Amino acid sequence: MKRLQADFENYKKRTAKENEIIRENASADLALKLLSVVDEFQIALEHMQNAEQKEIRKGIELIYIKLLDILKREGVEPMKSLDGKFDPYKHDAIRHVGGKEGMVVEEIQKGYTIKGKILRHAKVAVGNGQESLDKNSK
């Protein structure tokens, strides 16, 4: 009985160590992929002094697209929240504003999923059932 118990304790320690190694390798793999984006930001910052505003915007947009592509390949997807029904499992309501009751009127911070699971809840403004003054005046 004592031998069985000792074997089980050793098994738990071994699997915990293996899981830790797997997590470290996954983190290192993602960090390595993100380093190319860091390099591009460094190049962009070095060239910003001599560039026009349009060129700076274009460069930052390209870096943003590349970062989103890396995240997408890792299974990270943005959630669509705007103009949808408020879902407390997906959204954090930050404030109530004029608009259709229970509907997401404004997306303050985008939410993301990873392989179908919520990674970060979207921070949203939810309609309170009263039309805003801007909409009534149109």
**Run of H or E residues at 20:** helix 2-47
DSSP 22-86: HHHHHHHHHHHHHHHHHHHHHHHHHHTTTS-HHHHHHHHHHHHHHHHHHHHHTTEEEPP-TTSBP
Q: What pLDDT digit, counting tens, does each position of 21-66 carry?
A: 998 888 888 888 888 888 888 888 787 777 788 888 888 888 889 9
Tokens 């962009």 correspond to 44
Q: What pLDDT digit, counting tens, does each position of 111-122 carry?
A: 999 888 999 999
Position 132 scores a pLDDT of 54
Instruction: For the chain, give every domain's residue range.
Output: 1-74, 77-130
CA distance 121 to 91: 5
Instruction: Tell me which amino acid residue 11 is.
Output: Y
Place domain 77-130 in its CATH homologous superfamily: Head domain of nucleotide exchange factor GrpE (2.30.22.10)
Task: Indicate whether 131 pLDDT > 80.
Answer: no
Position 136 scores a pLDDT of 47
Q: Which of 62, 70, 88 is nearest to 34 (CA)?
A: 70
